[in-house]
Amino acid sequence: MKLAMIGLGRMGANMVRRLAKDNHQIVAYNRSEQVAIDLAKEDENIQAVTSFKAVIDNLSAPRIIWLMVPHEHVDTTIETIIEAGLEPGDLIIDGGNSNYKQSQRRELELEARGYRFMDSGTSGGVWGLENGYSLMVGGKKETVALVEPALKSLAPSYDTGWGHVGPAGAGHYVKMVHNGIEYGMMQAFAEGFELMEDKPGMDLDMTQISQIWQHGSVVRSWLLDLIADAMKQDVALSGLSDYVDDSGEGRWTIEASIEQAVPAPVLSLALQMRFRSRQENTYSGKVLNAMRAGFGGHSIKPVKNK
């Protein structure tokens, strides 16, 4: 199938590569034009364009336009696409990390104007190109059907790692909770390793322990693999600060727990511990950053900027 990808950052560019590899034709646009031009040189199935008008002109109705832009730019990007000539029946997909309430609003507003909308919670980070992406899709059944071939190509396999989870907003809601859980799991690993690293009289080897746990342990996971990889390079994690940033989804998850009166003490405290990391140096903060850098390619503040 043919679709457009707008936003060629860490995830967007690799999603284009994975789609092109499975013989989809991709019209690629990025605010920095050279990024799209360079990407198009990699595969004949990728076509670089330098304007939203060109995006529209190079797609046939019903057009499918996938956005991978920061959540604060989604509305302005959508309006610019509409002004460029979007037609009734065309589909806009928000695959970034938007608040699910905004996705619910966008579908209502766009459908009132004759357009289609779908939200896709997208997980996989910088490893998605190789391993596939976990896709949590929200929208009407017939809307999702339009883009199903691309979803199957982006997922780890055609039959696993993706699903239509509910109406518009559901994809971003499920991804929001996914990220809240991620916070809690990462915090648990970080605290456990700090307990061991700080234990006097035992001289515990963090690298060895992380590698032991990778096999047969009930806590084995991709996050643990990222810790082990980082510690093999530098067990002290001396190149990392312990300043841990947080994304919108973690905060939105806690807001949802309050709105729904559903207790989420572990997830809440994990977010609070990220706030704490900005006040003092800890080994647990460095462990958290080792995982964030490993799975998402997130930028990490160097020690000198603490």
Reply yes or no on whether 142 is catalytic.
no
Give the Cα separation of 163 and 144 in Å (integer): 10
| Residue 66: its H or E element | strand 64-67
- Residues paired with 67 in a beta bridge: 6, 94
Among 83, 105, 85, 86, CA closest to 94:
105
Quote the DSSP letter at residue 87: -
Kindly name the residue from 21, 83, 175, 255 that is annotated as catalytic: 175
What is the widest separation between alpha-carbon atoms in the chain? 70
* Torsion of the alpha carbons at 141, 143, 145 and 151, rounded to the nearest 10: -110
Kindly give, in sequence order, each residue whose CB lies less than 8 Å from that of residue 280, ignoring residues fewer than 6 positions away. 242
- Residue in 107, 182, 197, 249 annotated catalytic: 182
SS3 state of residue 5 = strand
Calpha distance 55→81 (Å, rounded)? 9
- The Cα 40–Cα 184 span in angstroms is 39
Peptide bond just before 167 cis, omega within 30 deg: no
Q: Is 182 a catalytic residue?
A: yes
Catalytic residues: 175, 182
